[in-house]
C-alpha cells in the first residue's frame, strides 16, 4: 500500500534528542500525531495507533528526503535513495518488547511519580510486586510505566500513564494489544474480576485477582486468555459509562464459565474504597 507523505514536510521536535512529531499519513491529520523515535527506530500515531519500524519506511517526496536523512543522522545527499513509502503492519507480538531505556523503578526518592501512585492508593509493596517504573525523560517522559507479563512471566507489553497533565494520557508499547490482558496474578485462580483499566485492576487486586482488558471491548483471544486461567467464577466490573459493553462481555464469558455482572452507578472500580469493593463481591 503506497501512501503520500505530502503532509510530512513539517515536523515538531519533542522533548529529547530523538523525538519528532509529523502529520500522520494513515489518516487526515494536521496536528502532528505521528511520533518518530529515531534512536529506537520506531514510529507510532497517537491518534490512529498505527505503528511500525522506521526501517520499513520509504518516502516519496524529494523535498523531504534531505530533512529525513538529517534527522536520521545522515548528511544530505548521502545514503540510499528514498523512492516510495511502503506501509508496514503493526509490530508483531513475536517481536521482543522491552521497557523504555530511561525507565526506573518507582521509589520514595522518585518524587512526583511516587506521590502520584500514593494518590492512587498504590502501596510500596504493590510497586515492588507489579514492578512499577517511571520515566522522567525520553519518549515516555513524565509517565508511570506498568509492565505486562504473560503466564510464562515474559514481558509482552507495557502501559505508560501520564502523572502530569499530558496528552495523550496513555502512551503504551508500540505493539498490538488484541492478544494482551493485564493480570494482577499470573497463576490460574478460582475467581477473577474483569475490568477496563490497569489502575482499576490494581485497586481490585487488593481484594480479588483482577484482569484488565485495556479497553471496554474484549477480543476473542482475550476471552480465551481470561477463561483459560480461571477455575470457577468470573466477575465483570467495567466503568459506569460502559453498561452496554459490560452486558455483552457478561454474555460472552458466561458461555465458558460461571459469570456475575456488577454494574457501577458512577465512576470506575479504581475510584472505589476497598470496603466498597469487598461489599460488591459478597
In this predicted structure, which of 21-25, 89-93, 117-121 has the lowest mean pLDDT? 89-93
The per-residue pLDDT for 53 is 66
Q: Is the pLDDT of residue 13 over 90?
A: no
The per-residue pLDDT for 1 is 29
Kindly indicate the confidence band of residue 272, based on its pLDDT and cuts at 50, 70 and 90: very high
Kindly indicate the confidence band of residue 202, based on its pLDDT and cuts at 50, 70 and 90: very high
The C-alpha atoms of residue 135 and residue 27 are separated, in whole angstroms, by 29
The per-residue pLDDT for 37 is 75
CATH for 95-172? 3.90.980.10
Phi, then psi, of 34 in degrees rounded to 5: -85, 110
Rounded to the nearest angstrom, the gap between the alpha carbon of residue 145 and the centroid of all alpha carbons in its chain is 9
Q: pLDDT per residue over 45-81, tens digit each?
A: 777 666 666 655 544 333 344 444 555 554 444 433 3
Instruction: Classify domain 1-87 by CATH architecture.
Output: Alpha-Beta Complex (3.90)
Phi, then psi, of 250 in degrees rounded to 5: -60, -45
Mean pLDDT of 149-160: 92
List of long-range contacts for 27-31, beta carbons under 8 Å, 24+ apart: none
Q: Name the nearest CA neighbour of 170 among 203, 204, 201, 143.
A: 143
Which residues contact residue 29 at a Cβ distance below 8 angstroms, ignoring those fewer than 6 apart?
A: 7, 23, 45, 47
- Give 193's strand partners: 210, 235
Supply the mean pLDDT for the chain. 81
The conformation of residue 2, written as its DSSP 8-state character, comes to B
Selected from 3.40.640.10, 3.40.1360.10, 3.40.50.620, 3.40.50.720, the CATH number assigned to the domain covering 180-282 reads: 3.40.1360.10
The per-residue pLDDT for 109 is 93
Q: pLDDT per residue over 227-255, tens digit each?
A: 999 999 999 999 999 999 999 999 999 99
Give me the percent of the chain exceeding a pLDDT of 70: 75
The C-alpha atoms of residue 128 and residue 108 are separated, in whole angstroms, by 12
Give me 32's grid cell: 502532528
Kindly indicate the confidence band of residue 90, based on its pLDDT and cuts at 50, 70 and 90: very low
The C-alpha atoms of residue 155 and residue 132 are separated, in whole angstroms, by 13
Phi, then psi, of 124 in degrees rounded to 5: -60, -40
Q: How does 128-153 read in b/e, with b if 16+ C-beta sit within 10 Å?
A: eebebbbbeebbbbbbbbbbbbbeee
HEC-encoded secondary structure of 85-104: CECCCCCCCCCCCCCCCCCE
Give me 21's grid cell: 512529531
The per-residue pLDDT for 75 is 45
Residue reference for cell 509493596: 125
List of long-range contacts for 152-158, beta carbons under 8 Å, 24+ apart: 153/186, 155/97, 155/98, 155/99, 156/93, 156/97, 156/180, 157/97, 158/97, 158/99, 158/100
Domain spans, the chain: 1-87, 95-172, 180-282
Q: Show the beta-strand stretches assigned E in 51-142.
A: 51-53, 104-105, 133-135
Mean pLDDT of 22-35: 75
What value does the CA radius of gyration of the chain take, rounded to a whole number of Å? 21
Amino acid at each position: 500500500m503506497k501512501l503520500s507523505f505530502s503532509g510530512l514536510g513539517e515536523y515538531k521536535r519533542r522533548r529529547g534528542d530523538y523525538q519528532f512529531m509529523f502529520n500522520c499519513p494513515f489518516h487526515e491529520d494536521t496536528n502532528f500525531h505521528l511520533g518518530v523515535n529515531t534512536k529506537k527506530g520506531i514510529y507510532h500515531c497517537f491518534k490512529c495507533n498505527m505503528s511500525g519500524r522506521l526501517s520499513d519506511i520509504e518516502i516519496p517526496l524529494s523535498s523531504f528526503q534531505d530533512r529525513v536523512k538529517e534527522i536520521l543522522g545522515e548528511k544530505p545527499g548521502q545514503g540510499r535513495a528514498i523512492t516510495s513509502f511502503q506501509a508496514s503492519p503493526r509490530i508483531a507480538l513475536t517481536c521482543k518488547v522491552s521497557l523504555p531505556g530511561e525507565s526506573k523503578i518507582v521509589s520514595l526518592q522518585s518524587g512526583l511519580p511516587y506521590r502520584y501512585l500514593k494518590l492512587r492508593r498504590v502501596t510500596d509493596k504493590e510497586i515492588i510486586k507489579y514492578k512499577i517504573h517511571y520515566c522522567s525523560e525520553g519518549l515516555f517522559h513524565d509517565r508511570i510505566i506498568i509492565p505486562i507479563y504473560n503466564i510464562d512471566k515474559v514481558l509482552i507489553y507495557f502501559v505508560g500513564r501520564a502523572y502530569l497533565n499530558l496528552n495523550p494520557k496513555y502512551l503504551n508499547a508500540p505493539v498490538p494489544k488484541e492478544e494482551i490482558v493485564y493480570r494482577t496474578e499470573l497463576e490460574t485462580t478460582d475467581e477473577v474480576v474483569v475490568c477496563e483499566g490497569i489502575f482499576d485492576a490494581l485497586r481490585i487486586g487488593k481484594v480479588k485477582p483482577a484482569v484488565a482488558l485495556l479497553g471496554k471491548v474484549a477480543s476473542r483471544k482475550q476471552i480465551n486468555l481470561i477463561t483459560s486461567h480461571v477455575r470457577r467464577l468470573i466477575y465483570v466490573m467495567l466503568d459506569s459509562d460502559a453498561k452496554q459493553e459490560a452486558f455483552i462481555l457478561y454474555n460472552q464469558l458466561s458461555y465458558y464459565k460461571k459469570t456475575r455482572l456488577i454494574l457501577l452507578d458512577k465512576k470506575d472500580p479504581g475510584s472505589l474504597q476497598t470496603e466498597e469493593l469487598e461489599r460488591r463481591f459478597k
